[in-house]
Structure 1
């Protein structure tokens, strides 16, 4: 009967540990990147029930209770939820983000809640550890926006036009032709088209000016209403005050025609390839985990790639808290980047929530409770039997 008490105690201890695991899972049901775990149960050693000690095989064996092993992580992907923060990242598929703490130790996480700190380095918001990327040599390095807070401007070189230049009109003036100079300044040119069909069939003289001051001139020629390839562009040199000369090409080759339309022309300025200097307005990551920087001048540039890790077996990973995991067997881990070699795609503006299944946890909770009650009843019954035995001996 004493053995029965010890067996009952093993049950109480085992189910108590099981309750602790369930409690931890349930408490973290809203923890980003959390992976639930389950406790492993096993039966304790056996002995032969023959009091003489004679071995009789498996016949008459008696067990000695319940034993618990370690916990097993469930790495099933959790739901991906929108957050509206472009530096909140989730991985749709396999892989974990790579972090480096203040001591230089590498950790991994599925909770991609990141930000740029005051030093311009991408860090984990929870503990400030650095988010690691891969440089051009595929070496782990920090991800930083230092030195890229501004985007240098680019002077205009190609001015494009669109529309129909009526072949029966005598002239057409296009105003507001935007040009960016080498210092990022903006200029507004005027382009006057004069019909010179009487001199050369299908030809137009092109005069360019700024505030009434001539800048340059040229000629374009149409054939059957379409610009001739060799005479569809006008090259001039524009010299803003105090700046060096800018070579400009007025391009009429693609979307400009010249058909008769009752002297009504729709020729207009379409676009130019220059832009002023801009400041950093936002940062995000694309599906391949590449840093994308956006600037106030409408330009974008790309930076480092996020470094991801994945493992071959659950035996090679352990939870260490703070939504992070460590590698226990480096040989079973692989490094790489998103959307390649089995790694999932990065989702910007999203975060992976806990994969805890609350209905399953409540079901397991009932089982643990019943097991604990049953083990407690075994101890109570064995105790009553011992008391009865002592009472009989006293008589």
Structure 2
């Protein structure tokens, strides 16, 4: 009877552990990147009966809790730094003590110090450099976009071949320090009677900066005479080479005295401050600046594992390498690694209906084990009551 009670108690202990696993799964059903667990049972044998030559059942052993590393459902997010891995790969993070962990929770943010972190604000998200070294992703070197001096101004529109003059009064040019300047252009038929040829005078206020000729043939620019290059030295600035480009999208057809010639674009810009950050599908940080420029920054590090036994649950939505397992590092899109999806994160992989089904099994198992103990106890009481009876 005592053995029966001990066996039933092992059932109570096992089903209690099962209930704990289910409770942890269910309470984390909305935790980003959470991976549920399954409890694993095995039977136990009591000591062999030497006379019978066999072993009796010795109860239940909850010998392991196995991680379920299947992917959770993607969750749309208003956080531009939220990312999910579509396929294989774990994000690599580093805690405040310098220990490396792994996670599928991609709900990231930049903390006050400019480091990309998990939502705790201290666990840093790592990038993988070309040299294979891990380093924290930070905004320290990408907060601003340096200015760029204008080197080319291109034009668009029609310069009427029947007009006697034309002018463009505002041609923006940026110097090396990001300062903006407005040049003006005056067009007049070239002296000497050259057909379809115009003399262009470039001025900075009342100061003539340069002059040059452009020519057309049948209304289209003559390639050899479609650009004017000069050196421009803005007040207080450095000399810079500027080219006025009329070679594309510019015509010269008869249109009375009206022309539509205007500035198309120029390649200079002032200094800019960081206005937006997100990630592209390779996990590279995409940066946008107030001057209209964009660039890419560090690339998220990803890690892959051979099997679920290579990982152990660390808590905080993180995992560690188990039993000395070596995880492979790489980038999204590399061989064996998935892609990055921005503006969403991976939700929990807990299936609530399955958990409730398991809950019923654990409850019935616990109830049955309790009933076994009660029955064994009643039998012992009956045995003891026989003491002294004839």
Using structure 2 for the length normalisation, give the TM-score.
0.93
More off after superposition, 115-124 vs 326-335: 115-124
What's the CA shift for 1:332? 4.3
Within a 5 Å distance, the mapping from 1:30-69 to structure 2 comes to 30-45=30-45, 53-55=51-53, 62-69=56-63
Task: Report the equivalent of 1:388.
Answer: 382
Task: Report the equivalent of 1:314.
Answer: 308
Q: Is the 8 A contact 1:8 1:378 kept in 2?
A: yes
More off after superposition, 342-351 vs 114-123: 114-123
1:223 aligns with 2:221: no
Task: Report the equivalent of 2:74.
Answer: 80
What's the CA shift for 1:253? 0.6
1:301 aligns with 2:281: no
1:285 aligns with 2:283: no
More off after superposition, 303-312 vs 138-147: 138-147
Equivalent position SS for 1:376 = helix
How far apart are the structure 1 equivalents of 2:75 and 2:119?
18
How far apart are the structure 2 equivalents of 1:143 and 1:366?
46
How far apart are the structure 2 equivalents of 1:267 and 1:326?
64
Task: Report the equivalent of 1:100.
Answer: 94
Task: Report the equivalent of 1:232.
Answer: 226
What's the CA shift for 1:363? 1.0
1:12 aligns with 2:6: no
Within a 5 Å distance, the mapping from 1:149-188 to structure 2 comes to 149-188=143-182
Unaligned 5+ runs, structure 1: none
How far apart are the structure 2 equivalents of 1:322 and 1:224?
72
What's the CA shift for 1:134? 1.9
Q: Is the 8 A contact 1:47 1:63 kept in 2?
A: no
RMSD: 2.1
Q: Is the 8 A contact 2:190 2:213 kept in 1?
A: no
Equivalent position SS for 2:247 = strand
What's the CA shift for 1:46? 6.1
What's the CA shift for 1:275? 0.4
How far apart are the structure 2 equivalents of 1:71 and 1:368?
15
- C-alpha distance after superposition, 1:27-51 (max 9, x if no partner): 1111111100010011212677xx7
How far apart are the structure 2 equivalents of 1:359 and 1:32?
19
1:327 aligns with 2:325: no
How far apart are the structure 1 equivalents of 2:359 and 2:79?
36
Task: Report the equivalent of 1:90.
Answer: 84
- C-alpha distance after superposition, 1:272-304 (max 9, x if no partner): 000001122232222212122222111123222
Equivalent position SS for 1:237 = strand
Cα 1:121/1:52, change in 2 over 3 Å: closer
1:111 aligns with 2:105: yes
Unaligned 5+ runs, structure 2: none
How far apart are the structure 1 equivalents of 2:372 and 2:23?
25
Using structure 1 for the length normalisation, give the TM-score.
0.92
What's the CA shift for 1:245? 2.3
How far apart are the structure 2 equivalents of 1:261 and 1:368?
88
- C-alpha distance after superposition, 1:33-88 (max 9, x if no partner): 1100010011212677xx772437xxxx6422211111111111112222222222
What's the CA shift for 1:25? 0.4
1:274 aligns with 2:268: yes
How far apart are the structure 2 equivalents of 1:112 and 1:267?
50
How far apart are the structure 2 equivalents of 1:394 and 1:316?
62
Within a 5 Å distance, the mapping from 1:142-153 to structure 2 comes to 142-153=136-147
Q: How many residues align?
A: 389
Cα 1:91/1:36, change in 2 over 3 Å: same
How far apart are the structure 2 equivalents of 1:55 and 1:130?
60
Task: Report the equivalent of 1:191.
Answer: 185
Cα 1:120/1:75, change in 2 over 3 Å: same
Q: Is the 8 A contact 1:195 1:204 kept in 2?
A: yes
Equivalent position SS for 2:249 = strand
How far apart are the structure 2 equivalents of 1:329 and 1:341?
25
Equivalent position SS for 1:11 = helix
1:355 aligns with 2:388: no
